[in-house]
Copies of this chain bind each other. A is one copy, B any other.
Amino acid sequence: MIIQLEPNIKADQLQQLEERLDAIRYSTTRVTTQFADYIIGVGKAEFDIRSIGTLPGIRDIHRVSDAYKLVSKKWKVEDTVIDLGDGIQLGTGHFGIMAGPCSIESEEQIEKTITHLQQEGVRIMRGGVYKPRSSPYSFRGLGIDGLKMWYKRTREAGIKIITEVMMVEQIEAMADYVDVFQVGARNSQNFNLLDALGEVDKPVLLKRGISGTIDELLQAAEYIFSNGNERVMLCERGIRSYETAYRNTMDVNAIAMLKEKTHLPVIADPSHGIGLRRYVDKIALASIMAGADGVIMEVHEQPEKAFSDGQQTLSFPEAARLYRRMRQAYELREAF
């Protein structure tokens, strides 16, 4: 059960509500976000929802029996649109492209990528400064200094930054230089990190785990939301299947289903989704038809030399062609 409170609910009204919930043995969690105040009730008793909904100080009440609640479309019918400022929006009706290298490597690389994005009208740049690497002996990114350098360049260019955060301790130092925090697949159930991102006033793009279910992804989003941050996006990035012909198996089914289950924006990552450069375009277009609100993808001036994931990285001309096709596919879909 979700109860949205009136902003000016009085202490005695709140107490009355809590007593009522206590009487039916519901455990409650108070949630305060940028936008509203909620009480989440979890319990088993049957009761007349009107007996609570008509109490003073309550704006709205709804039963939601799924494990996830505030992120469910059963609670919030209207889709969430996330505003990044400067006219950049993400969510239903606002197709978004986020492109850039796997890793931020150098100032020169940043410049070239920004020039490419500006030419193609792409306004969000992706790139890693903290890289999760399977081996401890691999390059782990330029860190906070790389981020600051990158930040400076993007401001001049009117480009927004999305980058991965790997641990709670990084958040504070990063927050001033990041427009969207990304949570990687390996951290999609790092609950402490999710909690902490709930307290940040920046949007979060949350990737599905490598073998995460739809339900786990939505509950992970609920962690962020219920800690206070309503500005969450979900990202399908390919799952681990038995098939070894591709690095991951992009699951467009998840995109279709997530758009029905949640009001949050859903982004596709075709680069990791299939992990093979020559198929990224088809998978990106398929994802749009499945319902994606945006695409995050890896591009590099010289994909062969790109740090760590060159196999799935598009060149600038390949990417430019794909941006155009994606916009056309999105336009057709919206016209349906």
Contact = CB atoms under 8 A, between A and B. Distances in A.
Contacts of A243: 213-214, 239, 251, 253-254
A329 B336 CA distance: 10
B244 A244 contact: yes
Interface string A126-141: 0000001111110000
Interface string A277-308: 01100110111111100000000000000000
Nearest to A242: B240
A289 B268 CA distance: 14
Interface stretch (A74-82, A94-102, A153-161, A183-191): A183-191
Contact of A257 (B166, B240, B246): B246
A120 interface: no
Interface stretch (A85-93, A103-111, A172-180, A221-229): A221-229
A101 to B, nearest CB: 20
A285 B279 contact: no
B168 A168 contact: yes
A216 interface: yes
Contacts of A194: 136
A34 interface: no
Contact of A253 (B186, B256, B279): B279
Nearest to A130: B192
Contact of A289 (B136, B169, B286): B286
A27 interface: yes
A191 B226 contact: no
Nearest to A285: B289
Contacts of A5: none
A40 interface: yes
A328 interface: yes
A241 interface: yes
Contact of A283 (B67, B252, B283): B252
Contacts of A17: none
B274 A256 contact: yes
A42 interface: yes
Nearest to A246: B253
Contacts of A289: 282, 285-286, 288-289, 329
A333 interface: yes
A118 interface: no
29 contacts: A29-B136, A40-B137, A67-B135, A68-B135, A132-B189, A134-B215, A136-B195, A136-B226, A168-B168, A169-B169, A190-B190, A209-B210, A211-B211, A211-B240, A213-B245, A241-B241, A241-B251, A243-B251, A244-B244, A249-B253, A250-B252, A253-B274, A256-B274, A256-B286, A260-B279, A282-B289, A286-B286, A289-B329, A325-B336
Given A239-B243, A245-B257, 4 more contacts: A246-B257, A252-B252, A252-B282, A286-B289
